């Protein structure tokens, strides 16, 4: 904890160049995206496992709090992507380091240039929605819906601490590195390369995902009754439920292949691995003084990644049938009656 406090205060005090601030933004944007990733993957899996809850989750996404968060999320993803490209470039071309300051400035500039039209389009969807006199969940309801995550987070942290404790008992003492693999070297080398290679694969996938879900249409159009479902070539969302929206996308077959399921699987697997390994980097950076906490950090990231993969892959392999859509309709009616 003290090392985190010192790093924060001294990063504010040390007059490093722009690279230091790029690093701060890279960490903060990465942490923000991972946090939303957890909510989002768990929420989306409910489209298969718990349709009522999925309707409620999408209703919370269509509230002012999440609308503000959505702009932050898109900004974070765009900055993290471009700054990541800069880091990858200089990691593989260290002799060009003299251009890094200029590159960091260009990253900021390109982020702003990309975000300007994106935000305008997103803002258009926001205006359309809030001008249509929608039924919006009150803030207390939105926050209450997020409360279900709290026990999950606490359980994961407690489980990680217990696993770390057991690990310490079995291994008969504290390993200095806190990395589960005692040798560590090979796995660290793998993860360093993975972070860089995966980022290049994630980039087109995540930009495509953001374009489809946040820019071409808004989060509000997920529940637009009688509208084309984006990316399906004209399939209509008859019931106007989020559950049917997901079903229409995931059931779209192109040449016999459920293309959106494949797409979402690739995005899920890469982003979960990249995001949780990034989280592991951050957590282990600040827990070097305590092998116990450092191991717990590693376990926490493994548990988080595993949970999201199980839920996400489970949902992607699942089916959304008529019953699920009916449950969605009922949930929606209840939500609207309540608000």
Interacting residues with other proteins (CB under 8 A): 3-4, 6-7, 10-11, 13-17, 19-20, 22-23, 87, 90-95, 97, 100-101, 176-179, 184-186, 188-189, 191-193, 281, 284-286, 288-289
Instruction: Compute the distance between CA of residue 215 and CA of residue 194 in angstroms, rounded to an integer.
Output: 29
Quote the distance between the C-alpha of residue 11 and its chain's center. 26
Nearer to other proteins, 14 or 140 (CB): 14
Nearer to other proteins, 97 or 123 (CB): 97
Instruction: Compute the distance between CA of residue 122 and CA of residue 218 in angstroms, rounded to an integer.
Output: 7
Q: How far is the CB of 40 from other proteins (least distance, A)?
A: 26
Q: Which residue has the tokens 């251009």?
A: 99
Nearer to other proteins, 146 or 175 (CB): 175
Nearer to other proteins, 17 or 266 (CB): 17
Instruction: Compute the distance between CA of residue 38 and CA of residue 60 in angstroms, rounded to an integer.
Output: 15
Q: Is the dihedral of CA 186, 188, 189, 195 positive or negative?
A: positive
Nearer to other proteins, 91 or 238 (CB): 91
Q: How far is the CB of 286 from other proteins (least distance, A)?
A: 5
Note whether 44 and 54 are within 8 A (CB): yes
Nearer to other proteins, 15 or 233 (CB): 15
Q: How far is the CB of 314 from other proteins (least distance, A)?
A: 32
Phi-psi region at 14: left, alpha or beta (left = phi > 0; alpha = psi -120 to 50): beta
Nearer to other proteins, 149 or 194 (CB): 194
Q: How far is the CB of 118 from other proteins (least distance, A)?
A: 27
Q: How far is the CB of 101 from other proteins (least distance, A)?
A: 8
Q: How far is the CB of 94 from other proteins (least distance, A)?
A: 3
Q: How far is the CB of 121 from other proteins (least distance, A)?
A: 33
Instruction: Compute the distance between CA of residue 174 and CA of residue 169 in angstroms, rounded to an integer.
Output: 9
Q: How far is the CB of 277 from other proteins (least distance, A)?
A: 11
Helix 51-61 vs helix 322-338: crossing angle, to nearest 10: 50
Nearer to other proteins, 93 or 135 (CB): 93
């Amino acid at each position: 904890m003290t090392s985190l406090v010192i790093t924060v205060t001294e990063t504010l005090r040390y007059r490093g160049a722009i690279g230091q601030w790029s690093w701060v933004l890279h960490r903060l944007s990465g942490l923000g995206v991972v946090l939303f990733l957890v909510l989002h993957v768990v929420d989306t899996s409910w489209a298969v496992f718990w349709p009522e809850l999925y309707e409620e989750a999408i209703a919370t996404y269509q509230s002012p709090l999440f609308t503000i968060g959505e702009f932050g999320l898109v900004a974070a993803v765009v900055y993290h992507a471009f700054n990541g490209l800069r880091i990858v470039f200089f990691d593989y071309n260290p002799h060009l380091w003299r251009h890094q300051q200029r590159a960091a400035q260009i990253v900021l500039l390109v982020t702003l240039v990309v975000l300007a039209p994106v935000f305008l389009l997103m803002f258009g969807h926001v205006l359309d929605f809030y001008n249509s006199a929608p039924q919006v969940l009150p803030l207390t309801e939105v926050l209450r819906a997020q409360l279900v995550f709290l026990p999950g987070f606490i359980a994961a942290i407690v489980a990680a601490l217990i696993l770390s404790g057991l690990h310490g008992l079995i291994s008969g003492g504290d390993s200095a590195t806190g990395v589960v693999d005692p040798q560590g070297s090979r796995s660290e080398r793998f993860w360093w390369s993975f972070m860089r290679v995966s980022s290049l694969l994630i980039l087109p996938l995540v930009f495509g995902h953001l374009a489809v879900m946040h820019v071409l249409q808004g989060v509000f159009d997920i529940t637009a009754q009688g509208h084309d479902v984006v990316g399906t070539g004209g399939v209509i969302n008859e019931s106007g439920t989020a559950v049917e929206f997901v079903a229409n996308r995931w059931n779209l077959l192109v040449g016999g292949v459920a293309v959106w399921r494949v797409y979402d699987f690739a995005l899920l697997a890469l982003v979960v691995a990249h995001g949780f390994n990034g989280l592991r980097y951050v957590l282990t950076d600040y827990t070097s003084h305590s092998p116990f906490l450092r191991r717990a950090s590693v376990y926490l990231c493994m548990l988080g990644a595993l949970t999201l993969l199980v839920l996400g892959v489970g949902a992607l392999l699942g089916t959304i049938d008529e019953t699920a859509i009916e449950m969605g309709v009922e949930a929606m009616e209840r939500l609207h009656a309540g608000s």
